[in-house]
Amino acid sequence: MKATAKAHTNIALIKYWGKRDESLILPMNNSLSLTLDGFYTSTTVEFRNDLLEDVFYLDDKTVTGNEYYRVTSFLDLIRKQAGNDGLFAEIRSANQVPTAAGFASSASGFAALATAAVKALGLPYSNQELSVLTRQGSGSACRSIYGGFVEWQQGTKADGTDSYAVQVANANDWDIRVAAVVLSSDAKKVLSREGMKRTVETSPFYSGWLESVPSDLQAIKAGIKEKDFEQVGSISEANCLRMHATTLGANPPFMYWQSTTFLIMEAVRALRADGISAYFTIDAGPNVKVLYMPKDEEAVQHKLRSVPGVRNVIVSRPGSGISCM
């Protein structure tokens, strides 16, 4: 009744932004991501008959409050599916990724938790079933089941059974790089969950965002198939800017970027003006991820590290899907 699992984070190139069902976590649009080998979560789940409630340690600290509630209510789903309602667990998780800072800790966190819990209870889930389950912990997490380029298909059913991720291209198919530019590891003020809800409910720009996604998706998938870096990069950057634009129209308005975020965007544009193909994308936080080709590693690193306010640059390659120990 004990298992350990590891899952990598993923960076969305076409963003998931907005839910049509908040309790089942069903998205308003399909999204597409790249799993990253540089950031991951390892989680051990042990179900024990002597426990009267779940106990959750994150990076060796006991977790209480909302973060604890999110984990136990997610385990409730699994307990229900296993027909084991009164069985509680000790959960020990370690994030090799800053928590709640826009590096997708919720993606690696819930993918590792779901995988370990399902294994610990001996449930014979396929990866597709695991993706459906994981989605209900954090939407972006359903994509971390797989490595490489992954699409989350929003599905049409009300019960969510057709809303899961599928692999578009394997991690080994294409060696591209993603530099995570760290300005701040502080937790964001507006969590992804709250930010997207406010945007759907109040931003007049939201409908424009939704209209723009299908053509982005089609074009980026063609770009991935043809290994056309310019196409994949430029669509990712434009899609990111459109997602963030919706937050400016929300009520009350909000913005995930800081002044250093702008400096990095400018540095990436300057690289392009110098003939180096690099593109940025940003999730719900101030930190920036820069996509580039291996041959430009040195030039990109040098440029990003020279930006005032940059604390670290962490390079990832395409990462693999979940693994169990």
Whether 56 contacts 63, CB under 8 Å: yes
Q: What is the contact mask toward ligand DP6 in residues 57 to 96, using x (rule: CB under 6 A)?
A: ----------------------------------------
Does residue 203 touch ligand DP6 according to CB under 6 A? no
With left for phi above 0 and alpha for psi between -120 and 50, is residue 10 left, alpha or beta? beta
Written as one string, the DSSP assignment of 212-275 is HHHHHHHHHHHHHHTT-HHHHHHHHHHHHHHHHHHHHTSSS------HHHHHHHHHHHHHHHTT
| CA pair distance 313, 86, nearest whole angstrom | 45
Does residue 133 touch ligand ADP according to CB under 6 A? no
Does residue 190 touch ligand ADP according to CB under 6 A? no
Closest distance of CB 25 from ligand ADP, Å:
12
| CA pair distance 321, 37, nearest whole angstrom | 9
Residue 31 touches which of ligand ADP, ligand DP6, Co ion, none (CB < 5 to 8 A by kind)? ligand DP6
Task: Give the E-state strand segments of the chain in sequence order.
Answer: 2-14, 19-21, 26-27, 31-48, 55-58, 61-62, 88-96, 149-153, 164-169, 177-182, 278-281, 288-292, 312-316, 323-324
Of 4, 35, 131, 138, which one interacts with ligand DP6 (CB under 6 A)? 138
**SS3 (DSSP) at 205:** coil
Of 10, 43, 106, 136, which one interacts with Co ion (CB under 5 A)? 106
Token pair 């667990």 is found at 89
Rank residues 100 and 235 by Cβ distance to ligand ADP and give the closer one.
Answer: 100
Closest distance of CB 70 from ligand DP6, Å:
8
Q: Which amino acid makes up residue 285?
A: G
Residue 250 touches which of ligand ADP, Co ion, ligand DP6, none (CB < 5 to 8 A by kind)? none
Whether 256 contacts 303, CB under 8 Å: no
Does residue 72 touch ligand ADP according to CB under 6 A? no
Does residue 191 touch ligand ADP according to CB under 6 A? yes
Rank residues 114 and 171 by Cβ distance to ligand ADP and give the closer one.
Answer: 114
| CA pair distance 261, 251, nearest whole angstrom | 23
Of 10, 41, 134, 167, which one interacts with ligand ADP (CB under 6 A)? 41
Closest distance of CB 22 from ligand DP6, Å:
8
Q: How do 55-58 and 88-96 pair as beta strands?
A: parallel
Rank residues 107 and 224 by Cβ distance to ligand ADP and give the closer one.
Answer: 107
* Residues between 111 and 130 that touch ligand ADP (CB under 6 A): 113
Does residue 97 touch ligand DP6 according to CB under 6 A? no
Of 42, 115, 192, 260, which one interacts with Co ion (CB under 5 A)? 192
| CA pair distance 5, 46, nearest whole angstrom | 12
Rank residues 216 and 283 by Cβ distance to ligand ADP and give the closer one.
Answer: 283
* Residues between 1 and 60 that touch ligand DP6 (CB under 6 A): 12, 15-17, 25, 31
* Residues between 81 and 110 that touch ligand ADP (CB under 6 A): 93, 95, 99-107, 109
| Footprint on this chain of ligand DP6 (rule: CB under 6 A) | 12, 15-17, 25, 31, 106, 138-140, 192-193, 283-284
